[in-house]
């Protein structure tokens, strides 16, 4: 059960921190050529992954990640109390189909690219609150499904501005448990939808940076911790420009992240990939967290990090109707146990 | 904190049942002519509600419902720990914009038309688990926004089969609290995504009935209760044919719901409305629960009901790609206190 949360705080403390007993990640060909390639469980060699549509390929990746995470923990589908999942497709169809396949009690989430961290935060609350022994959390995205849904037919080869990001093809799954071996989730800070009036759908970094900065600052205020308490502060997919902006905003609030601030969207690709500002998509923070970051904790290179899933809350329809774009950031503290 | 949940169960028990301290409902003109008209807080007189698009009208309804629910409980936005909300629009844009307006820590949900009950279940867990004092839960839909997104331009006047349902224009909001006056949530049963191979997007009742039946049967098994424990069993939006099907399936499992089974989608319209199988949409169970059902508890006509939000997990893209449609049902037990 949580420590009593004071009114107005956005951070919850876990009294019996839920354990991440297993994670799995499946990524696309491009992600499999990147600097984090070795940290992923499986690299698919073709964006269709043997299916006849990209959407079905993304579903297959999510199914694979679920199976792999269960297998690593020697668990079966029936051992999971709740599945929390989401993705970028309209009506989160990847997660719906994965939930049908897995046949677990299912709660669908939508937090744009923050979904993995929304799931980790909620999943940890369900476990620590005594409602579940084991919760499976998943999120996915696919370059080709996202591109044609949110932007243009990929066949058009539309030119992308330098602030644009490249949607990660990947699915990440984590299993949280009341007991077991693995890193633990000690805190979660739930973000607000923050809108600074940005309306350029090709510059998601600028949209999400103020939300990420707000959540990170709130976390430090709520916990009375300073950045040096963490080995790393890792945002989901701010990209090169968004990260710079967030760092500046956080500095203005009195917290200096220098030397410990990084971003999953920057980590996942090589310069040669020419993805402009970096990676994005629900799959970005999902696979980097389930692959690379878990590896860092396991190897001892990092003892404790704060991960912040970042999302841009837009739809093609909202952009067409002239809405500005709210951003959101949900933070979770993950520590190596012991 | 929850009573220990046995492995394989889908039902959670609340040890300190969260209190529904306030609800609010805003509905469209047609819903305002129906038999439940007097149970709603506000009826808008035009589907545009003074805005220039239906999407913005739906957002305004949701904003209004949030404000009204806060006002009834003499609360301000800052008193709410978490806002849990969802809707049918791609990327749940109504909820995102409402969250921006309300500026509360926000967790976006997607459970198709089951969203209100997904939110009530999760919200009750966050309160009973000790993570929040007050949680705001909301869901909305709008006939015109849903019709053009999921089906055809409304201007086409496409003929609808008799199994088709009419998306409710409405937004419902409930505030759950650790303490206060009002009905309480004692249990939640989280459903699985169940797919019997139905692929007709114009017959949602048939898609959702097996899922609703599964969740209701699981609830009776998990709690060792029989239907007569409840004054009412109320599904979200099965409609006339879906309700008949669910009742049969539940009877096959050994539980007889006769005389106590109803459906929000059947309750909300008159015959004269010619809506065919009944109402549907996230807003359907949201406004009927926040309006009519809360009124039944208040007046003493009903002491205790099990409400089951029902959803059809489809998207235009999944239907075009030949996917069959999984259904889902989440149940929540609501009792008049004392």
pLDDT band for position B311 (cuts 50, 70, 90) = very high
Domains A11-177 and A184-335 share a fold: yes
pLDDT (0 to 100) of residue B188: 98
CB contact under 8 A, A193 and B103: yes
Could you state, in order of their start, the residue ranges of all structural domains in chain B? 11-177, 184-335
Give pLDDT tens digits for A75-106: 999 999 999 999 999 999 999 999 999 999 99
pLDDT (0 to 100) of residue A2: 54
Architecture of domain B11-177: 3-Layer(aba) Sandwich (3.40)
Q: Which residues of B16-54 are buried (b: 16+ CB within 10 A; e: fewer)?
A: ebbbbbbbbbbbbebbbebebeebbbebbeebebebeeb
A/B interface, count of CB pairs below 8 Å: 192
Nearest Cβ partner for B110 among A97, A108, A318: A108
pLDDT greater than 90 at residue B272: no
B213 touches chain A (CB under 8 A): no
Tokens at A201, concatenated: 């759908």
pLDDT greater than 50 at residue B1: no
Handedness of CA A266, A108, A137, B320 (dihedral sign): negative
The pLDDT > 90 percentage for chain B reads: 93
pLDDT (0 to 100) of residue B257: 98
Alpha carbon distances (Å) from A75 to A134, A138, A179: 10, 16, 14
pLDDT greater than 80 at residue B5: no
Nearest Cβ partner for A92 among B78, B110, B316: B110
* Residue of chain B nearest A313, judged by CA positions: B96
B196 touches chain A (CB under 8 A): no
Tokens at A111, concatenated: 């937090």
* Structural contact between residues B278 and B160, judged by C-beta atoms closer than 8 angstroms: no
CB contact under 8 A, B108 and A100: no
pLDDT band for position B158 (cuts 50, 70, 90) = confident
pLDDT (0 to 100) of residue B338: 66
Strands A304-312 and B166-167, how do they pair? unpaired
Region B288-298 average pLDDT: 98
Where chain A has pLDDT below 50, the residues are 1
For B184-335, which CATH class? alpha beta
Average pLDDT, chain B: 96
pLDDT (0 to 100) of residue B304: 97
* Structural contact between residues B204 and B242, judged by C-beta atoms closer than 8 angstroms: yes
pLDDT (0 to 100) of residue A1: 46
pLDDT (0 to 100) of residue B116: 98
How close does chain A come to B300, measured CA to CA in Å?
Answer: 31
CB contact under 8 A, A91 and B90: yes
A48 touches chain B (CB under 8 A): no
Give pLDDT tens digits for B52-102: 999 999 999 999 999 999 999 999 999 999 999 999 999 999 999 999 999
How close does chain A come to B267, measured CA to CA in Å?
Answer: 26
pLDDT (0 to 100) of residue B274: 86
How close does chain B come to A270, measured CA to CA in Å?
Answer: 30
Alpha carbon distances (Å) from B132 to A1, A7, A125, B296: 11, 9, 10, 27
- Candidates A100, A112, A113, A316, partner chain B, best to mutate (most B CBs within 10 A): A100
E-strand stretches of A82-169 = 82-87, 106-108, 134-141, 166-167
Tokens at A175, concatenated: 């299993």
CB contact under 8 A, A103 and B193: yes
CB contact under 8 A, A5 and B131: yes
pLDDT band for position B4 (cuts 50, 70, 90) = low
Q: Which A positions 105-164 lie with beta carbon below 8 A of chain B?
A: 105-112, 118, 121-122, 125-126, 128-133, 149
Single out the residue of B285, B243, B290, B245 nearest to residue B268, CA to CA: B285
B77 touches chain A (CB under 8 A): no
């Amino acid at each position: 059960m949580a420590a009593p949360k004071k009114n107005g705080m956005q951070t919850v403390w876990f009294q019996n921190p839920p354990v991440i007993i297993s994670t799995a990640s499946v990524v696309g060909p491009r992600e499999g050529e990147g600097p984090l390639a070795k940290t992923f469980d499986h690299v698919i060699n073709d964006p269709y992954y043997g299916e006849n549509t990209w959407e079905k390929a993304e579903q297959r990746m999510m199914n694979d990640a679920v199976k792999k995470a269960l297998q690593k923990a020697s668990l079966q589908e029936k051992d999971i109390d709740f599945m929390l999942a989401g993705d970028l497709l309209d009506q989160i169809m990847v997660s719906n189909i994965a939930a049908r396949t897995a046949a677990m009690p299912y709660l669908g989430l939508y937090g744009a690219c923050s979904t993995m961290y929304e799931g980790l935060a909620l999943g940890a609350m369900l476990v620590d609150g005594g409602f579940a022994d084991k919760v499976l959390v998943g999120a996915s995205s696919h370059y080709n499904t996202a591109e044609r849904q949110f932007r243009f037919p990929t066949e058009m080869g539309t030119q992308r501005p330098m602030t644009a990001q490249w949607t990660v093809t990947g699915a990440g799954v984590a299993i949280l448990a009341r007991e077991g071996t693995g890193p633990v989730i000690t805190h979660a800070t739930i973000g607000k939808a923050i809108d600074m009036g940005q309306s350029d759908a090709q510059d998601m970094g600028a949209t999400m940076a103020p939300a990420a900065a707000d959540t990170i600052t709130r976390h430090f205020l709520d916990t009375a911790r300073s950045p040096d308490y963490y080995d790393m502060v890792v945002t989901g997919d701010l990209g090169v420009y968004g990260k710079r902006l967030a760092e500046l905003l956080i500095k203005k609030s009195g917290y200096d992240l220098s030397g410990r601030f990084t971003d999953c969207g920057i980590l996942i690709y090589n310069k040669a990939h020419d993805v402009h500002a970096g990676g994005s998509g629900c799959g970005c923070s999902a696979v980097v967290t389930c692959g690379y970051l878990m590896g860092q904790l396991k190897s001892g290179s990092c003892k404790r990090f704060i991960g912040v899933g970042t999302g841009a809350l837009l739809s093609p329809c909202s952009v067409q109707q002239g809405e500005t774009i709210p951003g959101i950031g949900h933070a979770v503290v993950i520590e190596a146990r012991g």
